[in-house]
Amino acid sequence: MNDELVIIGAGPAGLCAAIEASKNNLKVLLIDESDRPGGQLFLQTHKFFGSRHHMAGVRGFQIGNDLLKQASDYGIELLLNTIVWGIYPDKRVAFATEGEKKCSVIAQNILISTGALEKAIYFKGWTKPGVMSAGAIQHMMHVHRVLPGKKVLIVGSGNVGLIVAYQLAQAGADVVGVIESLSNIGGYQVHAGKIRRMGIPILTSYTIVEAQGTPCVESAVVAKIDDRGIIINDTELEVLCDLVCLAVGLRPFDELCRVLDLKMVYIPNLGGFVPLHNENMETSFNGIYVAGDVAGIEEANTAMDEGRLVGIVVAEKLGKIPTKKAGELKIQIRKRLADLRLGSFGSVRASGKAEIIKHWQ
Amino acid sequence: MLDKLPNDSNDGVLSLERIRALPGYPGKDRFDEGPVVVIECDEDIPCNPCEDICPEGAITVGEPIINLPCINPDKCNGCIVCISICPGLCMFVVHKNFSATESLIYIPYEMHPVPEKGSIVKGCDRKGEFACDARVEKTILIKKLRKTAILAIAVPKRYFEIVRAIKL
């Protein structure tokens, strides 16, 4: 029997889709390239925002543990250490697993929930050892228990930069500061407030000019910029640090979407090119869905709900769940998603999502 | 080094003026009466666990979920349950008249090590700057608190709206 739903990427979106689909008796195959499912949830040591439905107040990794338990209770088939390298027009998913012979399956439906890639900014010395992305630092700290630097400069004040600053300080690093090229802090004030109370400065309208040191980073030069982004003369300052953390945004990890030549739309507020999709998260290719960051950069709560939505949509399509019941569930999830996209932070993403739907129509 | 630079506008710190204007911020009389929560939450983030967890129904977010939490200081008894659920770590319980000269401030604390009861630590303001010595009166670290410790620190009364953090 063909797998009714093959899910590529076992992060928050993929896991929730798998759980929701299995709950409705679908045969699911969940594939992930790492040795443990959960994606970025296991890098999130902070408590989540949101409502009771999103387990607000519970730490990300604990939500991850809870999802893994549910996945195992439903007996979801899981293929780890597996790289999906292609999807063919007959919905054959081609993959490679170390030491395994099986290398493809044909799926009735596919969910691409491959998450995001970190962006970088380029400056003199940016390839030196000691310049790292925020995700890499979190991975080293929380998965491998390695503190990658003692004195850290953070570039970017979105929630990722602010949270990583806090986590590095918890791990014992000296965070010398967070710099932000815009004139305002990008992330939540409460995240900024946490690190400010620890005495960590946040400097807006600042950029990194150079990472210095041989061969590793020993210092960084920062400078003030004007509102056009141009460095103001004589504001350069050398800051001692052995780690420069780049937290300058994410973009959808869209390789598999490109392989399939899915229609893409450019939505800057959602990270750049995003696969076109409808309200059921179905792409321009019938039976292929997207959810989570690959469908537009948001956050784990929206990823989980988009995943659940796909689980229900596919279950309904295959007749595993009555249309009326599916309709009710979809309304509940869409209401939660709408709630998560309220407010001055969420509404930016809401308008991006609305633009995608507009393109679809 | 970077902390010595002047910052223009938004440096992530809420001013006391702004905090005092937040919904339900306790008045002078209420602070004098006994322990009460202060919520230093000033953004329209979709988030409401404080409303759910308060056993006294003293915190209202309501609909839409981006409303700021509003305290009913008459219902709040300063029980501290909300401090550890807040993902923003922006809730504090203040007992202004802890003694004739001191206030007791309950703060969330997620660093290691957790200071011992009785130790003297540095009481810091919202910018992490030293304000006054603080004495650790209680350390509360139980499973229910989701790995966020709560410290009760005693500070001279005039700092009851100033000290919001400690350094060892």
- Segments forming the whole domain that contains residue A324: 5-117+250-360
Show which of A230, A246, A262 is a domain's final residue. A246
Nearest CA in chain B to A154: B2
* Cβ within 8 Å, pair B89-A342: no
Two structure tokens written together for B150: 């709560």
Phi, psi of A316 (to 5 degrees): -65, -45
A232 and A278 share a domain? no
Helices (H) and strands (E) in chain B, counts: 3, 9
Q: For residue B146, is it within any domain?
A: yes
A11 and A108 share a domain? yes
Query: A232 CA to chain B: closest CA distance, Å?
Result: 15
A227 and A254 share a domain? no
Two structure tokens written together for B35: 């322990």
Measured between beta carbons, the chain A residues lying within 8 angstroms of B146 are 47, 57-59
Nearest CA in chain B to A53: B49
Q: For residue B32, is it within any domain?
A: yes
Measured in Å, how far apart are chain A's first and last C-alpha atoms? 34
* Cβ within 8 Å, pair A239-B2: yes
- Segments forming the whole domain that contains residue B27: 13-167
A259 and A355 share a domain? yes
3-class SS of residue A245: strand
Question: What is the residue type of A345?
Answer: F
Nearest CA in chain A to B62: A51
- The neighbour count for residue A124, using CB atoms within 10 Å, is 12
Show which of A246, A262, A291 is a domain's final residue. A246
3-class SS of residue A278: coil
Helix-, strand-, coil-residue percentages of chain B, each rounded to 5: 15, 30, 55
Q: Smallest Cα–Cα separation from A40: which of A7, A15, A20, A71? A: A15
Measured between beta carbons, the chain A residues lying within 8 angstroms of B85 are 47, 56-57
**Distance between alpha carbon A204 and the CA centroid of its chain, in Å?**
25
Q: Which residues 177-206 of A are in CB contact (within 8 Å) with B?
A: 177, 179, 183-185, 188-205
Q: Smallest Cα–Cα separation from A134: which of A114, A154, A150? A: A154
d(CA A162, CA A59): 16
3-class SS of residue A94: strand
Could you tell me the CATH number of the domain that includes residue A183?
3.50.50.60
CB of A202 closer than 8 Å to CB of B2: no
A95 and A152 share a domain? no
A135 and A151 share a domain? yes
Q: For residue A223, is it within any domain?
A: yes
Q: For residue B6, is it within any domain?
A: no
* Cβ within 8 Å, pair A196-B128: yes
Tens of each residue's pLDDT in chain A, 361 residues:
579 999 999 999 999 999 999 999 999 999 999 999 999 999 999 999 999 888 899 999 999 999 999 999 999 999 999 999 999 999 999 999 988 888 999 999 999 999 999 999 999 999 999 999 999 999 999 999 999 999 999 999 999 999 999 999 999 999 999 999 999 999 999 999 999 999 999 999 999 999 999 999 999 999 999 999 999 999 999 999 999 999 999 999 999 999 999 999 999 999 999 999 999 999 999 999 999 999 999 999 999 999 999 999 999 999 999 999 999 999 999 999 999 999 999 999 999 999 999 999 9
CB of A106 closer than 8 Å to CB of A90: yes
- Does A239 reach chain B within 8 Å, measured CB to CB? yes
Q: What is the largest CA-CA distance in chain B?
A: 46
Q: For residue A347, is it within any domain?
A: yes
Question: What is the residue type of B41?
Answer: C
User: Smallest Cβ distance to A339: which of B64, B86, B164?
Assistant: B64
Interacting residues of B29 by C-beta distance below 8 A, sequence separation 6+: none
pTM of the model: 0.95
